[in-house]
Structure 1
Amino acid sequence: MNLHLQVVGRRPDGYHELRTVFQTIDLEDRIELALGGRGVEIECRGAGLPFAEENLAVRAARLFASRWAPRLGIRLRLDKRIPVGGGLGGGSSNAATVLLALRERCGFPATREELWEAARSLGADVPYFLLGGAALGIGRGDELVPLPEPPLSRLWLAVPPLAIDTGRVFRSLPGLTEAPLAPSIRRLLGPQRRGPSPLGDFLGHNDLQATVFRLYPEVATVYDSLVAAGACWVSLSGSGACLVARFRGARAGELARKAMPPGVELRPVFTLSRRAWLERWPEGRG
Structure 2
Amino acid sequence: MVPREIRVRARGKVNLGLGILGKRPDGYHEVESVAVLVGLADEVAVHPVPYGIEVLCSGVPGPPEENLAFKAGRAALQCFRAPFGLRISISKGIPVGGGMGGASADAAAVLKAAWMLLGEPAPRETLTEIARLLGADVPMFLLEDVTKEGRVSAFLLRGRGDEVRPVRSRDVPEIYFVLVLMNFPVSTAWAYARWDEMFQHPADRRTTDFADPRIPLIIDALKTGDARLLGPSVFNDLEEAVATDFPVIREVKQVLCQAGALGAVMTGSGSTVIGIVTDPAHGLRVCREFRRIWAEERGHSLKKSSSLPGRPGIKELVLVGRSQVLGRCTLS
CA shift in 2, pair 1:147/1:199, >3 Å: farther
CA shift in 2, pair 1:7/1:234, >3 Å: same
Shift of residue 51, structure 1, vs aligned partner: 2.2
Percent identity between the two aligned chains? 32
Q: Which structure 2 residue ranges, 5 or more long, are not aligned? A: 1-13, 146-153, 207-211, 295-299, 307-313, 325-332
Letter of the 1:20 partner, please give it.
S
Conservation of the 8 A alpha-carbon contact between 1:15 and 1:140: yes
Task: Report the counterpart of residue 255 of structure 2 in structure 1.
Answer: 225
Task: Return the alpha-carbon distance in structure 2 between the equivalents of residues 15 and 161 of structure 1.
Answer: 27
Task: Report the counterpart of residue 111 of structure 2 in structure 1.
Answer: 99
Shift of residue 86, structure 1, vs aligned partner: 0.1
Which residues in structure 2 correspond to 1:171-190 (within 5 Å)?
Answer: 171-173=193-195, 174-175=198-199, 176-180=202-206, 181-182=212-213, 185=216, 188=219
2:174 equivalent to 1:152: yes
User: Between Structure 1 and Structure 2, which shows a larger proportion of strand residues?
Assistant: 2
Conservation of the 8 A alpha-carbon contact between 2:37 and 2:322: yes
Task: Report the counterpart of residue 240 of structure 2 in structure 1.
Answer: 210
Instruction: Provide the TM-score with structure 2 as the length reference.
Output: 0.75
For residues 144-168 of structure 1, the C-alpha deviation after alignment (integer angstroms, 9 at most, x for no partner) is 1211354112111001100002111
Which deviates the most, 164-173 or 116-125?
164-173
Would you say how many aligned residue pairs link Structure 1 and Structure 2? 268
Task: Return the alpha-carbon distance in structure 2 between the equivalents of residues 244 and 177 of structure 1.
Answer: 26
Task: Report the counterpart of residue 5 of structure 1 in structure 2.
Answer: 18
Task: Report the counterpart of residue 198 of structure 1 in structure 2.
Answer: 225
Which residues in structure 2 correspond to 1:222-261 (within 5 Å)?
Answer: 222-248=252-278, 249-258=282-291, 259-260=293-294, 261=300
CA shift in 2, pair 1:178/1:37, >3 Å: same
For residues 30-83 of structure 1, the C-alpha deviation after alignment (integer angstroms, 9 at most, x for no partner) is 1111101211001113x2444201111111000001111343210011111100
Conservation of the 8 A alpha-carbon contact between 2:108 and 2:139: yes
Conservation of the 8 A alpha-carbon contact between 1:135 and 1:145: yes
Task: Report the counterpart of residue 118 of structure 1 in structure 2.
Answer: 130
Task: Return the alpha-carbon distance in structure 1 between the equivalents of residues 205 and 89 of structure 2.
Answer: 44
Letter of the 2:35 partner, please give it.
F
Instruction: Provide the TM-score with structure 1 as the length reference.
Output: 0.86
Task: Report the counterpart of residue 7 of structure 2 in structure 1.
Answer: none
Where 1:164 maps in the other structure, the secondary structure is coil
Task: Return the alpha-carbon distance in structure 2 between the equivalents of residues 98 and 197 of structure 1.
Answer: 33
Shift of residue 130, structure 1, vs aligned partner: 1.1
Where 1:12 maps in the other structure, the secondary structure is coil
Task: Report the counterpart of residue 168 of structure 1 in structure 2.
Answer: 190
Task: Return the alpha-carbon distance in structure 1 between the equivalents of residues 107 and 226 of structure 2.
Answer: 28
Task: Report the counterpart of residue 320 of structure 2 in structure 1.
Answer: 269
Shift of residue 221, structure 1, vs aligned partner: 2.4
Conservation of the 8 A alpha-carbon contact between 1:182 and 1:204: no
Which deviates the most, 130-139 or 113-122?
130-139
Shift of residue 213, structure 1, vs aligned partner: 0.5
For residues 184-203 of structure 1, the C-alpha deviation after alignment (integer angstroms, 9 at most, x for no partner) is 616948xxx9x943244654
CA shift in 2, pair 1:13/1:183, >3 Å: closer
Which deviates the most, 221-230 or 209-218?
221-230
* Coordinate RMSD, CA, aligned: 2.3
Conservation of the 8 A alpha-carbon contact between 2:173 and 2:224: yes
CA shift in 2, pair 1:187/1:266, >3 Å: closer
Letter of the 2:24 partner, please give it.
R
CA shift in 2, pair 1:113/1:255, >3 Å: same
CA shift in 2, pair 1:63/1:221, >3 Å: same
Conservation of the 8 A alpha-carbon contact between 1:23 and 1:272: no
Letter of the 1:84 partner, please give it.
V
CA shift in 2, pair 1:251/1:75, >3 Å: closer
